[in-house]
Structure formats: C-alpha cells, structure tokens
Amino acid sequence: MTATDQHRPPVASFGARLSRAMDERGPLCVGIDPHPGLLEAWGLTDSAAGLRDFSLRAVEALEGRVAAVKPQSAFFERHGSAGLAVLEEVLAALRELGVLSVLDVKRGDIGSTMGAYAQAYLADGAPLAADAITVSPYLGYGSLGPALDLAARTGRGVFVLALTSNPEGASIQHARTAQGPAVAASLAEGATRSNAAARQAGVLGSVGLVVGATTGIAVTDLGIDLVGVNGPLLAPGVGAQGAAGPELATVFGPARGNVLASTSRAVLSAGPDPQGLRRAADAAGEQALRALRH
Ligand SMILES: O=c1ccn([C@@H]2O[C@H](COP(=O)(O)O)[C@@H](O)[C@H]2O)c(=O)[nH]1
C-alpha cells in the first residue's frame, strides 16, 4: 500500500457494485455498438457527430433499466481521435448517471505495456476510465497482472476472455494446455485464484470471465467450474448471434446467478425511438431474468 492509498477512502469493489445493480435491475447488459448500418437506420451520418447522437440517445433510453452498459471501443476507434472523444463523453455520461460501464476493448500485452493499458482504462480520473474492461489473456493469465492489480485498487473490474461467443474461438480455447486442462479451464482457474479473497469475504469477486451464451455445453465438456470462479460471467451472444433464454440456462447451469447477459444489435435495432429501445431492453431483460433467476 502506498502513502497515497492510505488516504484514499475505501471504494466498493466492482463485484459488489455489479451484484447490487443486478439485484436491483436484473442481469442484463446492453452494448453500444454503433455499426454504420445502425447509424443509417437511425437517420444519422457515419461520423463522430452521428456516433455521439446515437450513443447518448441509447444511454438516455437505457438508464435505470439495465445493470450495465457495454460500449464497444472498436466502433468509436474507427472514427479516430474524434471517435475517442465521443467514447470519453459516453463513459462520462454513464458515470454521471450512475450506470455501470463495461468497456469492451479486449486489451492484452506484455506486463509492462499492460500497465499502460491499465492506466488508460482503470485509473481514477483517466479520460477513458470505465467500471470494468474486457481483457485478452493470449499473452498468458499472468501478463494481466497490472490490470488486475490496478482494478482491485480502484474498485474496478476486468472480464477475461475465456470462451468467446464466436465459433472460431473453440480452436484455441478448447485446446489442452501442457498441464492438461483446456485453455479456457486454466483461465477460469486463474480467475478463481484472483477472486479468492472476495470468496472468503462472501462477496462476488471483481475478476470476471467472458463466456459466450452461444457456447453450448463447452463449460461442462471442458470441466470448467464456473461456480468456483466466484466472479461475474459476461455472456455476449444473446440476440443477433442467436442465443436466448434456453441457451443461457444450458451454458451456465448452477453458475447462472453470476451471469450478466449481454446483447447489442437486438436492442439497438429497435431505435431511434426511445420507447422502442426501452421496450426491446425490457423484453431482453425479462428473458434473461427468467432464464437466470428461476
Ligand atoms: O465473446 C465475445 C466477446 C465480445 N463480444 C462483443 O459483444 C458484442 C455483441 O454484439 P451483438 O450485436 O449482440 O452480437 C460485440 O460488441 C462483440 O464484439 C462478443 O460478441 N463475443
């Protein structure tokens, strides 16, 4: 602990804040993915100005109805520095409204560079700070250390890509490590270790996994203990990629209480009418709630 840390007021962990949000608003996360086709459908230009209008209208419509909002960084990055300025504004708007943000940015690098990514997204006061980010463990679970450490210090979280929703992911994620378990299982073991203190304290940990809602029986087949992870399980793949309530129940089984189901296009395509967006988010939220809580 540094001298500065000693004067820092204690912050609630991301795991605890997400648990509360899911209890209050249900287990749904809606992604902000401003695809060019969606911008057009909303009558907006494929420009930073269109992106800003789209994203802020979506945030306003979703506030209070979902546990978290997940901006997809790629759609902002494709507009260069103007797009990143919009992303900063969207993250600030979510912060201001008290809506948890999960920035889908899938970062991963050697430890020393990972430290810089951590500063960019997980440090207090960073322009692109989010409540949690997605990280890629392709350089080894240990390389994520600087992000896990900073997230723990600032009350933020990370979601480690484990079993992604795309069909191509299996060729890497189901492969066996030299020690025997599948790659995805060894990542789950890493998250289990990282969440050990939270487990002992009886709260949800802040190191989550990305496990696609489209992954069928892979969790069981690969012998992955998702309950033991004691962390949030971000489940993209709901809606446009074909998964719905039954798939969520099959994939997560006894771990379903920790799932944050995520959908983007299926809700965003109901815009730009705010009532349409709200209706679509409410329907997706009901579906997730039925599958994951009953
Ligand atoms: O395994 C993964 C990890 C991330 N994603 C992201 O989630 C959304 C999905 O959008 P939909 O419109 O609901 O298909 C998108 O930003 C992906 O990059 C994922 O799909 N799968």
Q: Is 131 in the pocket of ligand 1 (CB under 6 A)?
A: no
Which pLDDT value is given to residue 154?
A: 98
On the CB side of 160, how many CA atoms lie within 13 Å of its CA?
33
Q: How far apart are CA 89 and CA 27, in angstroms?
A: 25
In terms of residue numbers, what domain contains 123? 3-288
The answer for residues whose C-beta is within 8 angstroms of residue 157's C-beta and 6 or more apart is 13, 14, 15, 18, 102, 131, 132, 133, 151, 206, 207, 208, 232
263 lines ligand 1 (CB under 6 A): yes
Q: Could you tell me if residue 160 is inside a domain?
A: yes
Query: What was the ipTM of the complex prediction?
Result: 0.99
Residue 229 has pLDDT above 50, yes or no: yes
Q: Is residue 98 in a domain?
A: yes
**Number of Cβ within a 10 Å radius of residue 173:** 21
pLDDT over threshold 80, residue 166: yes
- Reported as a single tens digit per residue, the pLDDT across 123-151 is 999 999 999 999 999 999 999 999 999 99
Mean pLDDT throughout 210-231? 98
pLDDT per position as a tens digit, 78-102? 999 999 999 999 999 999 999 999 9
pLDDT in tens, 36-47: 999 999 999 999
Tokens linked to 213:
């809602």
DSSP code for 177: P
- Please check whether residue 171 lies inside any domain of the structure: yes
Counted domains in the chain: 1
The SS3 call for residue 94 is helix
Pocket flag, ligand 1, residue 173 (CB < 6 Å) = no
Nearest CA to ligand 1 atom 3: 164
- Assess if residue 206 is contained within a domain: yes
Side-chain-side CA neighbours of 74 within 13 Å: the count stands at: 8
| CA 64 – ligand 1 centroid, Å | 22
Q: What is the pLDDT of residue 6?
A: 54
Residue 294 lies in a domain: no
The dihedral formed by the CA atoms of 186, 144, 238 and 290, expressed in degrees to the nearest 10: 70
Domain containing 100 — which CATH number?
A: 3.20.20.70
Give, in order, the Cα–Cα distances in Å from 145 to each of 8, 39, 226, 267, 275: 22, 37, 21, 34, 42
Q: Is residue 260 part of a domain?
A: yes
pLDDT higher than threshold 60 for residue 163: yes
- Ligand 1, atom 4: closest residue by C-alpha: 236
Tell me whether residue 161 is in a domain.
Answer: yes
CA distance 161 to 184: 8
For 181-269, where are the E strands, in sequence order? Answer: 207-211, 233-235, 259-263
Asked if the structure places residue 293 within a domain, the reply is no
